[in-house]
Structure 1
C-alpha cells in the first residue's frame, strides 16, 4: 500500500525525549515528506506543536491539537469544538472538592491557578507558558467571550485522581471524553471529536483512511490506529494500544517511528 498521509501522536510516540524529535526522526520525515503528508496529532496546544512542525519542516501541513478539538492550518482555524461553561463550572467544583488543580486550554491560551512541579514540567516539555490566575476569573472571562475549553488537564496525586475519575465519569462521561494520561493527570475533551474524526475531516478527494499510516502509544490513539490503513504502536505503548495495532515498532526512546518509516516506507 502506498500511504499518502502519515499521522503521528507526539508525546511517547514521535518525540524521542520529553520535548523533542531526534535527528534520526527528522531525517526520515524529510526523506518522505515530499511524497507523504505529515500531520501531527496531539493533545497538546498549538504552540507546543508548531516548534516540532518547524523542526520537521512540515509547516505547510495542518495540525490536530487537543485530541481533535482544534484543527489549524497555519493561522487558519479549520475546526473548533470546546467544552461549554456549564460543564466547566461543574468540573471546577468537583476538582476543588478533591484538592485538584485545573489547567484550562483554549487555542494558545493556557491558564492555571498556581505554580507547581507539574506545571513546571509542562512548561519544560511543551515549551509553552501559562497565565496564572484564579479559575473563576478564567471562567468568567470565557463566558463573556462565549468560548470554552478545548482541553482541561486535572493535576493531582494518584490517590486523588483515582477518587475523582469515577465521579467525573458518572456525572460527565455522557458529555465529555475523559482519560488518564498518567497516574496523576486526567485530561478532558469534547465528546464529539477525536483524533480520528479530525483526520477524517482533513481527507481530500481521492484520499481515504486506507491511505493513512498512523502511530501512537496511548488510549486516545486507539480509534486512530484501529481505523487507519496501517496503525502502528510504539514499543512503549499501553498493552491495549498494541492489541489493536497492525504492527508494533521500537519504543519512542529508540526512534520507533523513524525505524518503522525507514524499514517500510520506501519512497
Structure 2
C-alpha cells in the first residue's frame, strides 16, 4: 500500500546512533520523499530536529516537536500549547528539597539551572545548547513574558524520581501528561496534546489516518502507532509498544526504519 505520510519518532527509532541518521536511511528516504511526506515526530526541541531534516533533505516538511505541543512548518507556527506559569510554579515547589532539576523548554529556548551528566548528554546528542540560569529567574522571566513550557524535563536521581512520580500523578495527573522515560528522567507535557493529535492536525480533508505509516519505540508512541494505517515498532521497542504494532522491524541500531522502507515502501 502507498502511504501519503511517513511519521517517525527519532530517539531509539529513526536515529541509528544517539544523534544521527545513517547514510542507508538517507538513501531510502530519497527514494520515497517525492511521493510521501516525511514527518519527524519527537519530544525534541525544534533546533534538535532541524539538522536531521537537513540530512534527510526534507526541510520543506512540517515537524512535530515536544510530543505534539509545538507543530511548525518552516517559520509558520501551526500549533503551540504550553504549560502555564502557575502550574510550573507548583511543580517547582514539589521538587524543592529533592534532587531534581527542571529543564524548561519553550520553542527553541532551553533553560537548566546547572550542568550535569544528563545535560551534557543532551547537548551532545541533540546538538542544542541550553541557557544556564537558576529556575527562579527563568520562571520570573517567563511570567513577565506570559509564556510557559512546551516541555519540562525533570532530571532526577532514581530515588527522587521514585518519590516524585506518584506525587506528580496524584496532584498533576489530571492536568499534565507525565512520562517517565527512564529511571532518572520524568518528561512532562500539556495534557491535551499527543503525537497522534499533531499528526491529525496535518491531514487535509481528503486524507485520513489510514494514509499514514508511523514508526516508534516508546510509551509516548503507542497512541500514534495504534491509530494510523500501519504502525511499525523497532525491535528494541518496549514490549507494550510491540504488542500494539502492525509490524516489528529491526532495532534502531540496525537501521530498522530504513530496512522496512527498503523492503516494503520502495518500488
Establish whether residue 85 from structure 1 lines up as the match of residue 85 from structure 2. yes
TM-score (norm 1): 0.99
- Aligned pair count? 267
Contact 2:31 2:266 in 1 (8 A): no
Is 1:148 matched up with 2:145?
Answer: no
Aligned pairs for 1:60-79 within 5 A: 60-79=60-79
**What is the alpha-carbon distance in structure 1 between the residues aligned to residue 20 and residue 266 of structure 2?**
25
Shift of residue 63, structure 1, vs aligned partner? 0.1
Structure 2 alignment gaps of length 5 or more: none
Task: State the match for 2:101 in structure 1.
Answer: 101
Please list every run of 5 or more consecutive structure 1 residues that lacks an aligned counterpart in the other structure.
none
TM-score scaled by structure 2?
A: 0.99
Structure 1 residue 93: Cα displacement:
1.1
Greater shift in the superposed pair: 53-62 or 137-146: 137-146
- 2:210 maps to what in 1? 210
The corresponding residue for 1:239 is: 239
The secondary structure found in structure 2 opposite 1:78 is strand
Please give the alpha-carbon distance, in whole angstroms, between the structure 2 residues aligned to 1:60 and 1:256. Answer: 24
Q: Residue in 1 aligned with 2:251? A: 251
User: What does 1:214-225 correspond to in 2, within 5 Å?
Assistant: 214-225=214-225
Aligned match of 2:34 = 34
Q: How does 1:136-175 map to 2 (within 5 A)?
A: 136-175=136-175
| Cα distance, 1:205 vs structure 2 | 3.0
Cα distance between partner residues in 1 of 2:101 and 2:200:
33
Structure 1 segments of 4 or more deviating over 3 A? none
RMSD: 0.7
Once the two structures are TM-superposed, the CA of residue 97 in structure 1 deviates from its matched residue by 2.6
Provide the rounded CA distance (Å) in 2 between the counterparts of 1:219 and 1:192. 16
CA shift for structure 1 position 94: 1.2
- 1:45 equivalent in structure 2: 45
